Structure formats: structure tokens, C-alpha cells
Amino acid sequence: MPTLRLALAQMNATVGDLEGNAATISRLRTQAAALGADLVATPELSLLGYPPEDLLLKEGFIAAAQRKVAGLERSSAVPPILVGTVAEGLELAPSGDSRDDADPFDRRQERPRIANAVAALDASGVVAIATKRLLPNYDVFDERRYFMPGVGPHTIVNLQGVSIGILICEDVWLSNGPAAALVSEGATLLVVSNASPYAMGRRAEREAMLAQRARELNVPIAYVNMVGGQDELVFDGQSFVVDATGEVIARAAAFREELLVVDIEAQAGSVGVEMHATKSHNRDELLMPRIAEPLQEVGEVYEALVTGTRDYLRKNGFRSAVIALSGGIDSSLVAAIAVDAVGAAAVKGFALPSRYSSDHSLRDAEDLAERLDIEIRTIPIDPAHVALEGMLGGALDHEVRGLTEENLQSRIRGVLMMGISNDSGAIVLTTGNKSEMAVGYTTLYGDSAGGFAVIKDVPKTLVYQLCNYRNDLALELGDLAPIPQTVLTKAPSAELRPGQRDDQSLPPYGELDPLLELYVEQDVTADQLIERGYDRALVERITRLVDFAEYKRRQMPPGVRITAKAFGRDRRMPITNAFRTGAK
């Protein structure tokens, strides 16, 4: 059987950065040449970044991407390459679906005219283009907005006597779909380009699916994924190869750029567009395949949060971050993540005690800062509290109290943090978790004010697990645990009034989080929850809180998605929404 040395370029593309992404592709291709690779595969839309969103509606952007593909190196000194890009000018539409350009009211004018594509290039230029057939339009995906589905013959290239079928992401998820068609047309190896965002459990799911597909079709399959953060999404990499029995024979790291080079034995294949191989190179022996050990789930989430935060800052030009440290568990976790993302020197904490803050909170914040080796400054907020109380009380003709006073304190902190950000150029990282986001226990323009909401998709119970994970990791390495034990054991409180504790107005998080998961992530309605035996009063109160907080969530900063359904583009609920329990 012929052996193909395939290099999977698990790269960190930046959306819109055609120049930079092309440079990354070129760098990895040169590395692959040095390692004797026959072919380099890159992720879905590797040249454009994923997802480019409405950049794809700009003809000027599409034209620039096309020019960039045309400018990729054409030389037998480097291996042929599969590049993720867009294709236009193809006969993409089935004949019955052609546009009538003469009809000014034909709304099909609005339909996309490009395809999500992989271009196969060798020293002679582009020899073949594969187009994505199945376009995901659910969850965070809007591919029907941008792309025409690929139609027509599938794309196979032939290299070193192997017939390589090219697929793009969704295409491989369907049995009896494009993968099966490629094999029936003669492909003896499948290569899938992906931009598959991270969510808990996704790696295992991908590997089980690909193993099944390999066994069904009796071919090896290589899966190359994007890595790195893009706004709310983080790509975990974890590119891998299964042999024809479905066994994982190589796996790249999670959340790191890596060139995974694998010798793949495949049946000899005779079909496909012939690609010119690189000029002869030294390749004395087969490579030992690298199979990275997968992370445990909580560790994987932690790395996702670190990667998403690091890339949001780096790709948006922020060199440092500031965090309001309350001494509570959420801000402690965010500070630890920030330090792991950009280093302690680039992170600064601010303790902003009010008249209701406890001494232990300030001590805990200082203890955390010392353990993380970050600078901390304290700004008591009372002068502004007094001033604004007086101004507001005068305008309202009565004393400021209750929720208004609680929010006032939180917003003074927001103003201070944003002032520090304006002055220093540091980004404000906010500290709200998903449980709070869900029920709206966050002050709009207060604690939620900032540029990136690191743990907005992390339920409170997972916040505890992540803290323990990070502490255990430090202890294993012989370091000081970053998060003080007192932070982990005290009862959660916003300290916006004397003696306040979260459990006075909410059920314990161990009860709340599963209920929220059902309502928010699994779309179980309030009536259905009651039918399943949940307490009616509790369900009505919690679901009402979730619905009512939609207007707040719409104004939250972006944050890393780690669950199967995050707030944001993943869950598009109307603000104006009268659907309630008991809608018979």
C-alpha cells in the first residue's frame, strides 16, 4: 500500500487577516517541507478565518481573498497544499434554480453567489476546488446566509498514488453523504478541513463519528481543525487521523497551533486530478505518530477560556487587562485565567469596596493578587456613592434605596473600571457567570461593563470545579494554589447590602444550574418542566427571570462559548416575548 505523508496544519487564523493567514500557511508549509510531507492540509476557510460573517457580503473582500489564493507560492520546493477559501464563478446552482437577472424583484438576487471551498494547489497553481455541500445553519452557524451549497462532481486529487477525497466539515457528518460518494467514486483517503468550535464533549463526539465513518467506508480519514479564539468562539484544534478501522493513529494538541505530520497508509488509488509532488526529499523512515493525550473535561474548559481570552486580547490589540476583584469566586477565577492567558505583568486588579463590603472580601482579594503575583489597587467607592446618592435622591425627592442603591454601587464600579481602561488602554474583563447571566443577577453597565466576559458561558457550579482544577494543577506543580481556600468556601454574596447572600433569593446553585440547563440549553418549556415534576412556583419564577433578562444579555460583552448553547448568536431569543407558562 502506498504511504502518504500528510501534514495537518492546525493553525490559528484571524478573521479578515488575509495577509497574516497567508503568512501562517506559508510558514507551516515550509515546516512541512522540511519534514518531508507530501501534502499540507489546512482548516476550513484557513485563508479568511472562521467565521468571517458579513465580510463575506463584501465583493471587495472576496476579490482580495481570490488574489491571495492566486499569490500563494507555486514551487516544487514546497508540498502541494489544500487551502480553505471561497469559490465564485462556479456553476453552483442546480439548473432549475438559475436566477432570472432580468427580473428586478427576483429575491433570489439576495442568494449567495460564493461557495465555502478548499482549493488544491501545487507548483502549477490551483488544480482542483472542492465545495462544501452541507451548510450548517443552526446553533452559531449561518452558512446559508453566505454560501451556495456545492453541487456537481465531488473533488478527488491524486498524489503519490493515493486518491484523496476532499471534504469540508459538515460534509463528513452524514453517512451516505459526500464522504460515501467520494469513496464510491474511488477515493482511498479522505481529508476533511474543519472550523469546528469547541464545546464540552465535542472532541469525543468528533472522534466517534469519524471512526464510524472510516469503518463504514473502509478508508483512513484525516481531520484538520482550526485552533484559537474568534470573538465568542474558540476552536480547540485536536486535529486527528483515524485509520480504516477507525482507530485514532495521530492527534494534535488542544488549543495550540501544531503541524501534525502523519504517514498514512492508504489503498492505491487511480482516480482524481493529478497533483505534482514536491521534488524528491529525504525520507528515510516512517514517522512515529504523535497521539496527544486528551485533556480531562474541566481542564479542557479551562484551556478554552484561557485561549479565548488570550486571542480576543491579542487579535484586538489589547496588551493588558484590568479586573475588579471582589474577593469572590467569579472574579478570582477570571483573574487566574487572565494571568494564564497574558501573564501576571499584564493583569491588574482593583478592589472597589463599598460601605457594605466585608473586611474579609478585601483580604481575600489581596490574598488572591499576592498568589497570582498581580498588582492590586484599592479604591473605596464611598465618595461617589455619597455624591450620587445625594444627586439622585434630590431628583427623586426621596432617599435612594433597595435595588436602585445596589445598582448604583455596581455602576460606580463600572464607571471606575471603564475610566481606568480609557486611561491605560487595558481591557476590562468582566466576571459574571452563566447562572447569573441567565437569571439577570448582574447590573447592566455595572459589573457587566467591560470588553470581554470571560466566564459568561460557565455555570456557577462549573466555576467551582474550575477553581479547584486550577488550584490542584498548581499544587501538582509544587506552586501555590492561586485561589484562596476562603474564597472557595464562603457563601456567594454580591455585598450590595448588609448581610446579602445569593441563596436568599435563589435556590442553591446545585439545584439552579440543572434547571437552567434544561430551560436555556435544551429548550424545555416551563410547562414541560412542571410536567416533569419541578416545583411550579420555582419554575415560574426562574423562567420569568430568564426571559426578563434577555434585554440585559443583549447588551453584554462577548465571552467564550464552552457549552452546546451559549447566550448570544447561539440562542436568538426575542426581547419582546409574551410566551409564558400555561399557554394552552
- Does position 23 interact with a second copy (CB under 8 A)? The reply is no
Would you say 371 and 474 are in contact if contact means Cβ atoms under 8 Å apart?
Answer: no
Binder to a second copy among 257, 527, 535, 540 (CB under 8 A)? 527
Q: Active-site residue among 44, 300, 406, 495?
A: 44
Give Cα 96 distance to the centre of its chain: 38
Phi-psi category of 58—alpha, beta or left, where left has phi over 0 and alpha has psi -120 to 50?
Answer: beta
Distance set, CA 146 to CA 98, 116, 237, 265 (Å): 17, 9, 24, 37
| DSSP code of residue 108 | G
Packing angle of the helix pair 329-342, 460-476 (nearest 10 deg): 50
CB of 53 to a second copy, least distance (A): 5
Give yes or no: 132 in active site: yes
DSSP letter for each residue of 190-215: EEEEE--B--TTHHHHHHHHHHHHHH
Kindly write out the interface string for residues 406-425 of this chain, putting x where it contacts a second copy by CB under 8 A and - elsewhere: -xx--xx-xxx-xxx-xxx-
* Under rule CB under 8 A, residue 320 binds a second copy: no
By CB under 8 A, residue 576 contacts a second copy: yes
Decide if residue 445 touches a second copy (CB under 8 A). Answer: yes
395 binds a second copy (CB under 8 A): yes
Q: Find all residues with CB under 8 Å of 293, minimum gap 6, and list them.
A: none
Per-residue x/- mask for a second copy, residues 260 to 289, rule CB under 8 A? ------------------------------
**Phi, psi at 92, each rounded to 5°:** -90, -30
Q: Can you read off the three cell numbers belonging to residue 21?
A: 493567514
Instruction: Decide: is 134 part of the binding site for a second copy (CB under 8 A).
Output: yes
Active site residue 467: no
Instruction: Characterize the bridge pairing of strands 240-242 and 233-236.
Output: unpaired
Q: Which 208-237 residues touch a second copy, going by CB under 8 A?
A: 208-209, 212-213, 229-231
Vertex 196: Cα angle to 131 and 87 (nearest 5): 20
Q: Which of 23, 77, 286, 391 binds a second copy (CB under 8 A)?
A: 391
Q: Please state the closest distance from residue 371 (CB atom) to a second copy, in A.
A: 22
C-alpha cell at 73: 507560492
- In the bound state with a second copy, the residue whose beta carbon lies nearer, of 264 and 524, is 524
Stretch that binds a second copy, among 117-125, 142-150, 195-203, 332-340 (CB under 8 A): 142-150
Residue span binding a second copy (CB under 8 A) among the ranges 79-87, 107-115, 368-376, 492-500: 107-115
Nearer to a second copy, 74 or 571 (CB): 571
Contact between 381 and a second copy per CB under 8 A: yes
Q: Is 386 in the site for a second copy (CB under 8 A)?
A: yes
Residues 576 and 343: their CA atoms lie apart, in Å, by: 42
Q: Which residue in the list 68, 143, 169, 303 is annotated as catalytic?
A: 169
Site for a second copy in 62-81 (CB under 8 A): 64, 67-68
- If binding is defined by CB under 8 A, does position 110 make contact with a second copy? yes
Binding of residue 350 to a second copy (CB under 8 A): yes
What Rg value do the Cα atoms of the chain yield, rounded? 27
- Cα torsion through 99, 104, 105, 111, rounded to 10: 40
Tell me how far, at minimum, the Cβ of 338 lies from a second copy, in Å.
18
Least distance from a second copy to the Cβ atom of residue 111, Å: 8
Q: Which of 34, 75, 108, 373 binds a second copy (CB under 8 A)?
A: 108
Nearer to a second copy, 263 or 406 (CB): 406
Helix (H, G, I), strand (E, B) or coil at 560: coil
Residue 447 sits in the site that holds a second copy (CB under 8 A): no
Question: Is residue 449 part of the contact set for a second copy (CB under 8 A)?
Answer: yes
Among 68, 132, 456, 460, the active-site one is 132
Q: Per-residue string for binding with a second copy, 113-132, x by CB under 8 A?
A: --------------------
309 φ, ψ to 5°? -70, -45
Is 101 an interacting residue with respect to a second copy (CB under 8 A)? Answer: no
| For a second copy, the closer CB: 67 or 279 | 67
Residue 152 touches a second copy, criterion: CB under 8 A: no
DSSP 40-76: EE--TTTTT-S--GGGGG-HHHHHHHHHHHHTS---T
Q: Should residue 577 be labelled a site residue for a second copy when binding is judged by CB under 8 A?
A: yes
Report, in Å, the least distance between residue 465 CB and a second copy. 27
CA–CA gap between residue 201 and residue 203 (Å, rounded): 6
The smaller minimum CB distance to a second copy, of residues 58 and 279, is found at: 58
DSSP β-bridge partners for residue 156: 165
CB 277 within 8 A of CB 38: yes
3-state SS class at 388: helix
Binding residues for a second copy, rule CB under 8 A, total 115
Q: Is 490 one of the annotated active-site residues of the chain?
A: no
CA distance 187 to 173: 17
The number of residues in the chain equals 584
Rounded CA separation 59/497 (Å): 55
Give me the active site residues, please.
44, 132, 169
